[in-house]
Amino acid sequence: MADPFEVRMRFTSQLQHLNASVTSSQKAALYALKYRDMDEDLHSCILEQLERQNSMNTRANIMYFIEHLCDMAQKENHMEFVRMIQRDILRVVDAVAPGDGSGAANVKVVRRVLAALQSKSLLPLQTLSDISACLNERDRDLPPGPSPRPRRSTTNNQNSNNSNSNSATTNGTRVLDKRQIEQRIEEDRERHKRLRESIWAVEAEGDGEFERLWGEGSEVGEDDVLAGEEDRGERRRGRIG
């Protein structure tokens, strides 16, 4: 049997190094399920990492990881993880997208993950709508215009990189640095790519495929006429047919 301390350390490290790839989330989730007898311990690791001063991106990645964990826990029929997440969901949301504005960029992440959990019936609808209303308020509370991140000078671009590279603080709030933003952009793109990979998939049974094709069809439009005319032109020249 593995040393509980070591398991904890390893899992913590995995959480800290999560990235946008599905495999990294799945790897950590598999690890958690492998040591499911220590589930309470591992769950506390998740909370700990969320509430520690990890970067905004790490917290977002842990949020996405939670979706994977609940998903796989359900499949493995080890609902304890799901129950604990449900119990602590408010804490999780508060940690990922704090109300002070520093986690504003994570609000969309939280929304997305919660919606996904709800659609898999891993989260009661009531909880979701409660949290959603709360997040809306948070959105509204944000001061309009200026963002909670350091001023980026437009006049001296060369310097802006250096001046922002370490997370400075403005007006006492913790802010994002340029590298973090760029990392998030890349990670979101990566996630989006994954999302698009399954965009075409239809269930094997039922009329899903038919419905999709039917929906994709459209009335004859001017571009169809245009395409037809071009085809006719080609035919006349004897290239086709």
Question: Which residues here bind another protein, judged by CB under 8 A?
Answer: 104-105, 107-108, 139, 145-152, 154, 157-158, 160, 176, 178, 181-182, 184-185, 188-189, 192-193, 195-196, 199, 215-216, 218, 221-223, 226-227, 230, 233, 238-239
Minimum distance of another protein from residue 178's CB (angstroms): 6
> Residue 129 or residue 153: which is nearer to another protein going by CB?
153
> Residue 69 or residue 95: which is nearer to another protein going by CB?
95
Minimum distance of another protein from residue 60's CB (angstroms): 10
Minimum distance of another protein from residue 50's CB (angstroms): 18
Main-chain phi, psi angles of 204, to 5 degrees:
-65, -30
Whether the CB-CB separation of 96 and 103 falls below 8 Å is answered with yes
Minimum distance of another protein from residue 71's CB (angstroms): 22
Minimum distance of another protein from residue 201's CB (angstroms): 14
> Residue 124 or residue 233: which is nearer to another protein going by CB?
233
Question: Nearest-CA neighbor of 105 among 48, 176, 34?
Answer: 176
Six token digits for residue 38: 């220590």
Whether the CB-CB separation of 21 and 189 falls below 8 Å is answered with no
> Residue 28 or residue 101: which is nearer to another protein going by CB?
101
Minimum distance of another protein from residue 237's CB (angstroms): 9
Six token digits for residue 146: 């200026």
> Residue 123 or residue 148: which is nearer to another protein going by CB?
148
Cα separation, 62 vs 20, in Å, equals: 10
Six token digits for residue 232: 């006719």
> Residue 3 or residue 223: which is nearer to another protein going by CB?
223
